[in-house]
Structure 1
Amino acid sequence: MNIVVCVKYVPDAQADRTFSQDNTTDRTNVDGLLSELDEYAVEEALKLAEAGEGEVTVVTVGPDGAAEAIKKALQMGADKGVHVLDDAIHGSDAPATSLVLAEAVKKAAGGSPELVLMGLASTDGTMSVVPAMLAERLGLPQITQLSSMEIADGKVTGRRDSDAASDTLEAPLPAVVSVTDQINEPRYPSFKGIMAAKKKPVETWSLADLGVDAGQVGLDNAWTKVESFTARPPREQGEIVTDEGDGGTKLAEFLAKAKLI
């Protein structure tokens, strides 16, 4: 099975994240890594490949540092990687990103992959819309937010859980599927995997290599963008209330003043 996994290089969620002067995410002064939610998609692809005759290709779109996201996926066990790197992509929104990904996926798969896997959302944007946009551009059926899945008889079947119910969904292959963090437990790269990753092929493509016009991507052509932002105010010291029998009253007064009750 030819499986393509789309992953994203994101700022570390544990770091102090902010924006650059052009109101785009600051990726220069913050450590980056493979989006944690994408690790579940990589793991699911590896499990499917190990269960049969399969090859896993990891595709990412991003700056120089995005090569680290591919590196992590290769260390986990993916077979090869593709890094779409072009200065014109900077500031692209979800529609533009899906366009670049669609062309990269088709080129990486030699036409059409049998399965495209993605995480639930990126941990920086958390929009969860790119899987649907990618499926539309590829002309493939989509199933999103699966907490379990299996491949059999030329189709993918999975379960989507919500607060109210669980639904069983299926689609014929090829298809685009996004998975949640409930689907598996991503493996840690082994020493053998880390060493093997150094010899695995990674290709770097530009927009020209994909036949994408630079006028279709980038901050100047984005449909959505950040107009302004304000830094989070420093945390203030909390108020200590000594309970002298009237603690409940004081708590109620505090909540009322804050318009919480």
Structure 2
Amino acid sequence: MPTIVVLVKNVPDTWSEKSLEEDYTLLRDSSDSSVDNVIDEVNQYAVEQALRIKEADPEAGYRVVVLSAGPEEADKALRTALAMGADDAIHLCDERMAGSDVLGTAWALTSAIRTIDDVQLVIAGSASSDGASGAVPGIIAEYLPAAALTHLKSVSVADGVVRGVRETSAGEWELEASLPAVISVGEQADRPRYPNFKGLAAAKKATITRLQLENIGVLENQVGLAHAATAVTAAETREARGAGTIIRDNDPAATAAAIADFLDERSLLK
């Protein structure tokens, strides 16, 4: 049975107060009342894309498997994806992965993907809201190896080929690659569906497959903060946003001149 793997991540909610541990890793403990962990919103777009590909070609018999790497609470993200309609969920849950950088994370996820039968497509969000590197999908494609079509706003699969459109400031780009492939989608893609009651009830009872490093052939010295190729050495709290400057004048010419002066003082005019 051909499989679509969707990568999902449990992240601090956008509106939660975020703080760092002593080693500069993000605090993810939801026992702290200031932290509320949820499925990353962009991952819901990725799940939606997988479900649409499956529904568009029933004869292909696609199975949608959601995969997450993270602490115990990553189950919440997986169950949200199951409630949307994913068929199975896999949780790579191993405390030795804590603090992994993008290279270690991508290596572990790639190794987990290799344990799944007949993977034809891997779908991820373009960039996570907590890390925002946008590098993991491309690195996974390099490790597999497979073609990478990233930052797509639309996707279709037919006759063993995945096609997508990427929009940039320079225009739109039509991309395609033979399966198997890795793609990433952003929030311009099809809006994710809301789980119905039946989906929520089934997700609550669903069995999630648990994996550790030994199950995927990854060594302890290939992941984790102590073995990361990159490290954060300092961090500062961003200053609170001010009220801004309001320019009011009944004379349009005077208003334009005041705006121009404001921008010029900040070297924002070219």
TM-score (norm 1): 0.90
Q: 1:178 aligns with which of 172, 179, 184?
A: 184
Distance 1:34 1:253, change over 3 A: same
Distance 1:137 1:239, change over 3 A: closer
Distance 1:249 1:137, change over 3 A: closer
Structure 1 range deviating more: 238-247 or 223-232: 238-247
Distance 1:251 1:180, change over 3 A: closer
Give the match's secondary structure for 1:45: helix
Partner Cα separation in structure 1 for residue 216 and residue 164 of structure 2 = 32
Give the match's secondary structure for 1:151: strand
Q: 2:98 aligns with which of 90, 115, 119?
A: 90
Structure 1 counterpart of 2:81: 73
Q: CA deviation at 1:78?
A: 0.5
Deviation sequence 1:202-226 (CA, Å, 0-9, x none) = 1111111111101011111111121
Partner Cα separation in structure 2 for residue 250 and residue 44 of structure 1 = 47
Give the match's secondary structure for 1:198: helix
Deviation sequence 1:77-102 (CA, Å, 0-9, x none) = 11111111111101100010011001
Deviation sequence 1:118-175 (CA, Å, 0-9, x none) = 1111111111111111011111111111111211111111111111121111111111
Partner Cα separation in structure 2 for residue 156 and residue 239 of structure 1 = 48
Q: CA deviation at 1:47?
A: 1.3
Q: CA deviation at 1:255?
A: 5.5
Distance 1:25 1:152, change over 3 A: same
Structure 1 counterpart of 2:23: 22
Q: 1:48 aligns with which of 53, 78, 84?
A: 53
Give the match's secondary structure for 1:69: helix
Q: 2:154 aligns with which of 115, 126, 148?
A: 148
Structure 1: 4+ residue segments shifted above 2 A: 198-201, 232-261
The answer to whether the aligner puts 1:38 opposite 2:43 as a matched pair is yes
Give the match's secondary structure for 1:67: helix
Residues 1-261 of structure 1 mapped to structure 2, 5 A cutoff: 1-28=2-29, 29=32, 30-51=35-56, 52=58, 53-107=61-115, 109-110=116-117, 112-235=118-241
Partner Cα separation in structure 1 for residue 175 and residue 11 of structure 2 = 30
Q: Is the 8 A contact 1:70 1:81 kept in 2?
A: yes
Q: Which runs of 5+ in 2 are unaligned?
A: none
Distance 1:140 1:240, change over 3 A: closer
Q: Is the 8 A contact 1:59 1:83 kept in 2?
A: yes
**Number of residues paired by the alignment?**
259
> What residue identity is the alignment partner of 1:128?
G
RMSD of aligned Cα (Å): 2.2
Give the match's secondary structure for 1:114: strand
Partner Cα separation in structure 2 for residue 138 and residue 47 of structure 1 = 24
Q: Is the 8 A contact 1:241 1:247 kept in 2?
A: yes
Q: Is the 8 A contact 1:79 1:200 kept in 2?
A: no
Distance 1:258 1:6, change over 3 A: same
> What residue identity is the alignment partner of 2:72?
D
Partner Cα separation in structure 2 for residue 234 and residue 155 of structure 1 = 48
Q: CA deviation at 1:251?
A: 6.4
Partner Cα separation in structure 2 for residue 254 and residue 73 of structure 1 = 47
Q: Is the 8 A contact 1:3 1:114 kept in 2?
A: yes
TM-score (norm 2): 0.87
Distance 1:241 1:55, change over 3 A: closer
Partner Cα separation in structure 1 for residue 3 and residue 240 of structure 2 = 49
Q: Percent identity?
A: 40
